[in-house]
């Protein structure tokens, strides 16, 4: 599932580009794919490029005037800073179902998961991380998760949690009634 990792928009863009190339190869090898299939995917690809450009321009505004590498932001879907991004995002979400008939079911499932993850990110408090590559700036988006207190941590994880480690015999006991440690054979790398 995609919820445990940051969202790099270029990863999704590259996947859509791969679908476009895959359709082109199928069209070259046999007449299975019509020209309209490529046009729909190409139009979707172009729309997503415009979306990324607008999202990055509006994200850049948050970093203007400071040296921060990472900024916490309100949900993008409700933040007025991202007004144009939200308009384009709605158009992309409306156009997404048109791809279902144009690509393989497994490919559509993958892209659907990507877009569901982006939707989840846009509706939560988000951390925007600034990255640099060849003097160009781009952004990676992730859910902002931070525990503010021990009671909040306990509330989120109500069951008993065991932390395991490979400790040596010389370490002091953590609990008064702790059993003697057994050496676990390890390989040092």
| Mean pLDDT per 10-residue section of the chain, whose length is 189 residues | 65 92 83 64 93 93 87 89 94 92 90 92 89 82 71 65 56 67 59
Contact indicator for 113, 3 with CB cutoff of 8 Å: no
**Residue 13, pLDDT score:** 92
Alpha-carbon distance values, 22 to 35, 45, 110, 113 (Å): 13, 13, 15, 19
**What pLDDT does 8 receive?**
86
Q: Cβ contacts of residue 107 below 8 Å, gap of 6+?
A: 19, 22
Give the global pTM. Answer: 0.69
Tell me what pLDDT residue 1 has.
Answer: 30
User: What per-residue confidence (pLDDT) applies to 175?
Assistant: 66
């Amino acid at each position: 599932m995609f919820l445990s990792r940051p969202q790099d928009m270029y990863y999704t863009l590259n996947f859509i580009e791969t679908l476009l190339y895959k359709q082109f190869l199928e069209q070259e090898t046999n007449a299975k794919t019509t020209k309209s299939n490529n046009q729909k995917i190409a139009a979707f690809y172009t729309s997503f490029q415009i979306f990324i450009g607008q999202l990055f321009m509006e994200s850049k505004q948050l970093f203007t005037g400071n040296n921060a590498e990472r900024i916490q932001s309100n949900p993008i879907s409700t933040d007025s800073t991202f007004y144009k991004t939200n308009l384009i995002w709605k158009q992309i979400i409306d156009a997404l179902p048109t791809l279902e008939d144009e690509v393989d079911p497994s490919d559509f499932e993958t892209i659907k998961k990507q877009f569901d993850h982006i939707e989840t990110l846009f509706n939560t408090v988000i951390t925007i991380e600034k990255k640099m590559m060849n003097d160009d700036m781009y952004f990676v988006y992730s859910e902002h998760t931070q525990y503010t207190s021990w009671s909040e941590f306990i509330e989120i994880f109500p069951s008993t949690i065991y932390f395991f480690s490979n400790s040596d015999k010389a370490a002091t006991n953590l609990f008064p009634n702790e059993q003697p440690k057994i050496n676990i054979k390890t390989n040092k790398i």
